[in-house]
Amino acid sequence: MSTTPRATSAVPGEPPHLGSVLAHHPVLAKSFGELYGAFWNSDVLSARLKEIARMRNARVTECGFCRNVRFDKALSQGLGEAIVDEIDWGYETSDKLTDAEKAVLKFTDAFIHDPELLTDDARAALERHLTPEQIAELGLGLTLFLALAKALITMGLEPEEMERTVLPTPAPAEPVA
């Protein structure tokens, strides 16, 4: 966890956090907010599967903020801490995760670590449970999750300590004019 800020806040009197750092470039910050909100509000892939992939990314990248945030939409779809606890090494043998969730986790590992992890069997499992449109959305989500985790870590924007926090699922921002 990196808690020493390496970026400055653009908001006078406010400590550096992702929003206050991105405020240095409001147009890009708003565009990012539109994309992130649109991703989370698309129902092509369930919020539960998105959150499972995000939690795996958080565990692999060791992003303290990401590991402790939960989005309410995924919770309303039945994603509880008993399932989140299974999103660790050895998830393949979990009896609490569905086959679709395991396929998403395998794809997530291949995305983060090594594309060779997406073996023919793993790819077939993914395609059995997800449509091409869902796989595309998952890939975009993983891109966003990995980028956000790395940004928070590299810029030192993780909190010193953080309790488990439930946040509203990100909503789309107003379009950039």
Kindly tell me if the per-residue pLDDT of 56 is higher than 70.
yes
Asked whether residue 7 is domain-assigned, the answer is no
Domain range for 134 is: 18-167
Q: Pick the more confident residue, 177 or 150.
A: 150
Residue with tokens 């939690």: 55
Domain assignment present for 9: no
C-alpha span between 67 and 84 (Å, rounded):
10
Q: Say if 58 falls within a structural domain.
A: yes
Check which CATH number belongs to the domain holding 116 and give it: 1.20.1290.10
pTM of the full predicted structure?
A: 0.93
11-34 per-position pLDDT tens digit: 999 999 999 999 999 999 999 999
> Which ranges constitute the DSSP H helices of the chain?
18-22, 26-41, 47-61, 64-68, 72-76, 81-84, 99-112, 120-129, 132-154
Q: What is the pLDDT of residue 27?
A: 95
Which pLDDT belongs to residue 159? 85
| In contact, 65 and 164? CB cutoff 8 Å | no
Contact 125, 94 (CB under 8 A): no
In a domain, 3, yes or no: no
Q: Which of 43-57, 112-126, 141-155, 163-177 has the lowest mean pLDDT?
A: 163-177
Residues 6+ apart with CB under 8 A from 64: 1, 158, 159, 162
Average pLDDT rounded to a whole number, residues 121-149: 98
Per-residue model confidence as pLDDT tens digits over 80-111: 999 999 999 999 999 999 999 999 999 999 99
Residue 13 lies in a domain: no
In a domain, 6, yes or no: no
- pLDDT greater than 60 at residue 79: yes
Task: Please report the pLDDT score of residue 92 as a whole number.
Answer: 96
**108: three-class secondary structure by DSSP:** helix
The predicted pLDDT at position 3 comes to 76
- The number of domains in the chain is 1
Q: Is residue 34 part of a domain?
A: yes
Indicate the SS3 state at residue 156.
coil
12 lies in some domain: no
